[in-house]
Amino acid sequence: MRLHREGTPTLLLVSAVVCFGLFALLKWPVLPTFLSILIGAALVIVLAIVVWFFRVPQRPLPNDDSAIISPCDGKVVVIEEVYEPEYFKDKRRQVSIFMSPLNVHINFHPIGGTTTYYKYHPGKYLVAWHPKSSTENERSTVVNKHPKYGEVLFRQIAGALARRICTYAREGMPAQQGAEFGFIKFGSRVDLFLPLDATIDVALGEVVSGSSTVIARFKH
């Protein structure tokens, strides 16, 4: 299993703490044996969870121009028509996906084409499913333009635990559908803003996979 580069500092820190803790438990056995075993097991479990969080899945890149692919792993928590004030300044179909701490936290380009807009916004750390998290939390907005079907906006949103959003996409860069464009550490959410005439292919509560699940399709 390959691990994501964004996890290197965290993994080194957690590994060092776990190794020191286990060494201390063995070198200085001042606690009852059963308690030492419990603490040692807890340390190993914490390390395993961190390793699992930064895993990189091996998934084939999609090749479906009419499809808008899920930008992340998680659960669909919002499907509604909204006004998008930052870039389009008109009504769009919003699909929001909540990423739990156990999900893969890599973010993927939902469509191919060219990145036409990128902006980082500092902000709050409300829980990711809060209605105001889309406009008040720390977030990064990216827009890709498909040469045939037009533009789709997607927004990385920090949650109550997330404290770092990584966005690699920049204006003018080519975008490959299903390729990685960013990473969010710990619980978070990604919003998609789609054309009103797009056909939604998912339902509320549905679990989706980044770079794999078709969220919607453009109107032909």
Selected catalytic residue, list 70, 134, 188, 211: 188
Asked about 70 being catalytic, the answer comes back as no
**Residue 183 and residue 7: Cα distance in Å, rounded?**
10
**3-class DSSP state for residue 220?**
coil
Long-range contacts of 90-94 (CB under 8 A, 24+ apart): 91/196, 92/153, 92/193, 92/194, 92/195, 92/196, 93/193, 93/194, 93/195, 93/196, 93/198, 93/200, 93/216, 94/191, 94/192, 94/193, 94/194
**Residue 161 and residue 49: Cα distance in Å, rounded?**
15
Mention every residue, 6+ apart, whose C-beta is less than 8 A from residue 86: 119, 141, 153
Catalytic positions are: 188
